[in-house]
Amino acid sequence: MNTGKMDDIFAATPPLEALQLLLSRAVTEGAGYYRDSNRSIQKKLEFIDIRRAYFHADAIREVYVDLPEEDAEEGMCAKLVKSMYGTRDAASNWEKEYTLWLQSVGFTIGKSSPCLFHHKAKELQLVVHGDDFTLLGETKNLDWFKKAIQERFSVKFRGRIGPD
């Protein structure tokens, strides 16, 4: 009997401690002038929201939906090309999409959670919760990330906090 249950659909959420760690590091290494190899580093937090995140991800399985009333015809439906809110695998597809993109720009995925990322060369730490990205780093590297993510996704920058 087919119940429609799909065991391979899963989208992770980060542990609360990951965000707490970023906030702690922001205070310690941001407002507190972190000393590393005799240079002062001021780190800040950047908050980014991906607009219509699921629509950025390709639909992996075949999903058919009713057409909008203005386009509907008897016996016709639409096959999704992109993921859509309300479909069972949309969050999982979005997780795969942003993970591949982050890896393509130099991030490595965390060992403890697939929602945690680190960019060693740019010294950036990132926590992803659904469509919300919280990033810790120096201003120049946050600016680099801001430009890169704008080129790939439709985003809303919620704010940057830290010294200055």
pLDDT band at 5 (very low <50, low <70, confident <90, very high): low
What percentage of the chain has pLDDT greater than the value 90? Answer: 38
Is the pLDDT higher at 21 or at 34? 21
What percentage of the chain has pLDDT greater than the value 70? Answer: 83
**Is the per-residue pLDDT at 38 higher than 50?**
no
Mean pLDDT of 52-64: 79
Question: pTM score, two decimals?
Answer: 0.78
pLDDT digits (tens, 9 = 90+) for 59-115: 877 878 888 888 888 888 878 767 777 677 778 888 888 999 999 999 999 988 888
Is the pLDDT higher at 33 or at 13? 13
Is the pLDDT higher at 161 or at 83? 161
**Is the per-residue pLDDT at 121 higher than 90?**
yes
DSSP string spanning the chain? ------TT-------HHHHHHHHHHHIIIIITTEEETTEEE-EEEEEEEETTGGGGSBP-S--EEPPPTTT--TT--EE-SB--TTSTTHHHHHHHHHHHHHHHTT-EE-SS-TTEEEETTTTEEEEEETTEEEEEEEHHHHHHHHHHHHHHS-EEEEEEES--
